[in-house]
Chains A and B, each alone.
Chain A
Amino acid sequence: ETGVTQSPTHLIKTRGQQVTLRCSSQSGHNTVSWYQQALGQGPQFIFQYYREEENGRGNFPPRFSGLQFPNYSSELNVNALELDDSALYLCASSLESGRAEQFFGPGTRLTVL
């Protein structure tokens, strides 16, 4: 059974640029959630995708957007990067939407200069 994978591992961008992060869900899981984890904090929910539709969103501006593909993999896109967007971005998959048990990937460390 393959776990959740994310790419890239690390990324450095400058303010104003755009970034795309990728996630492959654990096999058999159809729901993907994205989280932002700032240094020294717990993960903060960005949004969730289920059957290729956004299924719940946290307190993040519209410049954070996503996609889910038919194979349940997902992308997180962030436009007009700001310094405060520097964080670890975590993807988690679950068997079904609404299931509490979520399994996390290793994350992508984004640094915005």
Chain B
Amino acid sequence: GQQLNQSPQSMFIQEGEDVSMNCTSSSIFNTWLWYKQDPGEGPVLLIALYKAGELTSNGRLTAQFGITRKDSFLNISASIPSDVGIYFCAGQWGTDKLIFGTGTRLQVFP
């Protein structure tokens, strides 16, 4: 099935560092979402973006809807151990189904 490309595939960082990840698509979307999934759990919605160029924050998380509408970015500032998990982007065109990315696995070391 179709999946969006996320990079990097995995990240190993030290506690306190900032994190950047992105998501790209060959198609345009009019909504971008970012989810976090812990092992054995379902994805949890972090941020939703609705307009090209939009920048939205949720605590230490900031996400941007790319100008081309084909990409989105997620930044985490001052990472902490509970940030560990897999981060997924998802895009929607119109009222269609969500298309998910391949995921970025984040590991935070003390």
Q: A interface vs B, CB < 8 Å?
A: 4, 33, 35, 40-45, 48, 56, 58-59, 90, 92, 97-107, 109
Contacts and interface: CB of A to CB of B under 8 A. Distances in A.
Interface of B: 1, 3-4, 31, 33, 35, 40-45, 48, 88, 90, 92, 94-103
Given A33-B97, A42-B3, A100 B43 contact: no
A100 B100 CA distance: 12
Contacts of B103: 40-42
Contact of A100 (B33, B41, B42, B44): B33
Given A35-B100, A42-B101, A101-B45, 20 more contacts: A4-B42, A42-B4, A42-B88, A42-B100, A43-B88, A45-B1, A45-B98, A45-B99, A48-B97, A56-B97, A59-B1, A90-B42, A90-B43, A97-B95, A100-B48, A101-B33, A101-B48, A102-B98, A107-B41, A107-B42
